[in-house]
Amino acid sequence: MRLLPHPETEDIELTEVLRALSDPVRLEIVVRLALGGEMTCGNAGGELGVHKSTASHHYRTLREAGVVLSKQEGRLVYMSLRRDDLESRFPGLLDSVLAAAERPPVGLP
């Protein structure tokens, strides 16, 4: 098992986190990780409508922003949300983003 380079918790910057979450594809990945817990890149990024190299670029963006943690095991890369790290650094932020992202786009009539 091998950890990929990540920012330390105290080095996670708010604007970079917001920027990472501001892309629809990355936000979808984050929502899946929130619902499904740790999963491989393939599972987290499947059926996204983008090329796998594009998805890989998004994985890296999320990792470098400090949103996800990636560990390599064999030929698989497992990703998970850095919920505790984000919660300690920016309390409530991830939860509110997730609640907003999972909310249906239109309210009740």
Partner DNA sequence: ACGACAGTTTGATGGGGGTCAAACTTTGGA
Partner DNA sequence: TCCAAAGTTTGACCCCCATCAAACTGTCGT
Among 40, 43, 80, 90, binds a second copy (CB under 8 A): 90
Among 12, 61, 69, 94, binds DNA (CB under 7 A): 61
Told to check if 47 binds DNA by CB under 7 A, we report no
CB nearer to a second copy: pick between 68 and 77:
68
Told to check if 93 binds a second copy by CB under 8 A, we report yes
Query: Distance between CA atoms of 54 and 73, rounded to whole angstroms?
Result: 21
CB neighbourhood size of 40 (10 A): 14
Told to check if 37 binds DNA by CB under 7 A, we report no
Q: Which stretch binds DNA (CB under 7 A): 7-15, 27-35, 40-48, 89-97?
A: 40-48
Positive or negative: CA dihedral 4, 26, 30, 20: positive
Using CB atoms within 10 A of its CB, is residue 71 exposed (0-12), middle (13-18) or buried (19+)? middle
Contact by Cβ (8 Å): 71, 3: yes
Q: Which stretch binds DNA (CB under 7 A): 27-35, 53-61, 80-88, 93-101?
A: 53-61
